[in-house]
């Protein structure tokens, strides 16, 4: 197995890609690359998390993120506790997120993976616990491991991550994936264009400095090396004007529309796909789709996240212990 870049990552937590240096992002990608041959579990992984305990505090629906963090941790020797809000003392007794996490941490935890409906919840949690916290998605803010797996899939395709133009098309307004990819891709020297109808491009004040926006998908596509389609997040649409037929006409990625992009441009989607809404089936299942490759990359990235953050936490603890001894 190739070397892990544990010495290039010094943060205890992975809360977002905003503000990370390019070498920190590359440390993640290089470590994930080392794990990638083991991502399907057909060969044994090094037991870098042996006897560790990881809490999956996934408080919104999830298939890919929950499953891949679980497989990543278990394949490296960890125990994974799956927390479900339903049936817990959060549900009807009013126990807070922080009290819940601190009580479970008191039973012995080495990392917490959190998905939460509130922006900044992972950051508040990280301030309250001693173990590493990995953000698995907070509201429409960040989803750093999703962006890292997207970057890994793009690097597999292009062999580099600089000088690319990537359209991120769809429900940008409600997308944490869009923001994390914007931070990651621009830090590494690529250009991102957010594309969608006006209502989906609102609320981007926090990223106005980095983000280009466009409403005409067909006009943007000829410059695109890669196209990332986003899920239309119908469940977050209260108060948003949305005409599904007009959306399909202007933004659904069909084979004809994809032919306007650079030849062979890979098509990414974080999943779950609304089949027939943002993507035509011929593209979802077509030769330029990287969707399932992204999912495999997700296991490798989550192996890297748990390994790098626990290694950094171990080093910090050792340094603190040494300081106490002197």
Cis preceding-peptide flag for 272 (omega within 30 of 0): yes
* Shortest spacing between CB 87 and ligand CP, in angstroms: 21
Identify any residues that bridge with 275 across adjacent strands, giving them in sequence order: 279
Which lies closer to ligand CP via its Cβ, residue 67 or residue 215?
Answer: 67
Specify whether the CB–CB gap between 90 and 97 falls below 8 A: yes
* Shortest spacing between CB 323 and ligand CP, in angstroms: 39
Which lies closer to ligand CP via its Cβ, residue 149 or residue 313?
Answer: 149
Q: Which residues of this chain interact with ligand CP, rule CB under 6 A?
A: 62-65, 137, 146, 270-272
Specify whether the CB–CB gap between 227 and 259 falls below 8 A: no
Which lies closer to ligand CP via its Cβ, residue 272 or residue 276?
Answer: 272
Residue nearest to ligand CP (CB): 65
* Shortest spacing between CB 179 and ligand CP, in angstroms: 13
* Shortest spacing between CB 164 and ligand CP, in angstroms: 21
* Shortest spacing between CB 294 and ligand CP, in angstroms: 8
Report residue 34 as tokens.
């080392």
Q: 244-273: buried (b, 16+ CB within 10 Å) or exposed (e) per residue? A: eeebeebbbbeeebbebbeeebbbbbbbeb
127 vs 100: CA distance, rounded Å: 14
Report residue 26 as tokens.
């590359």
Which lies closer to ligand CP via its Cβ, residue 6 or residue 68?
Answer: 68
Which lies closer to ligand CP via its Cβ, residue 47 or residue 63?
Answer: 63
């Amino acid at each position: 197995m190739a070397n892990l870049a544990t010495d290039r990552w010094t943060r205890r937590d992975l809360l977002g890609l905003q503000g990370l240096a390019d070498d920190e992002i590359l440390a993640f990608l290089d470590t994930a690359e080392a794990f990638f041959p083991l991502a399907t579990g057909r060969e044994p992984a090094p037991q870098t998390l042996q006897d560790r305990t990881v809490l999956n505090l996934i408080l919104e629906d999830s298939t890919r993120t929950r499953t891949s963090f679980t497989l990543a941790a278990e394949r490296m020797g960890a125990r994974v506790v799956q927390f479900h809000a339903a049936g817990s003392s959060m549900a009807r007794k009013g126990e807070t997120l922080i009290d819940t996490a601190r009580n479970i941490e008191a039973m012995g935890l080495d990392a917490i993976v959190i998905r939460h409906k509130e922006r900044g919840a992972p950051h508040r949690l990280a301030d309250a616990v001693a173990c590493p916290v990995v953000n698995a998605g907070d509201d429409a803010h960040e989803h750093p491991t999703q962006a890292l797996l997207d970057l890994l899939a793009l690097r597999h395709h292009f062999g580099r991550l600089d000088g690319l133009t990537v359209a991120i098309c769809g429900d940008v307004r409600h997308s944490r994936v869009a923001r994390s990819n914007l931070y990651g891709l621009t830090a590494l020297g690529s250009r991102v264009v957010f594309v969608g109808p006006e209502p989906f491009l609102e609320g981007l004040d926090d990223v106005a400095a980095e983000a280009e926006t466009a409403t005409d998908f067909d006009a943007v596509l000829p410059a695109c090396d890669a196209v990332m389609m986003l899920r239309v997040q119908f469940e977050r649409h209260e108060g948003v004007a949305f005409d599904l037929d007009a959306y399909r006409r202007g933004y659904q990625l069909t084979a004809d529309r994809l032919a306007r992009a650079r030849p062979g441009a890979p098509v990414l989607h974080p999943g779950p796909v609304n089949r027939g809404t943002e993507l035509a089936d011929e593209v979802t299942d077509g030769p330029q789709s990287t969707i399932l490759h992204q999912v495999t990359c997700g296991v490798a990235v989550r192996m890297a996240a748990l390994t790098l953050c626990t290694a950094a936490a171990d080093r910090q603890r050792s340094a603190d212990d040494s300081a106490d001894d002197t």
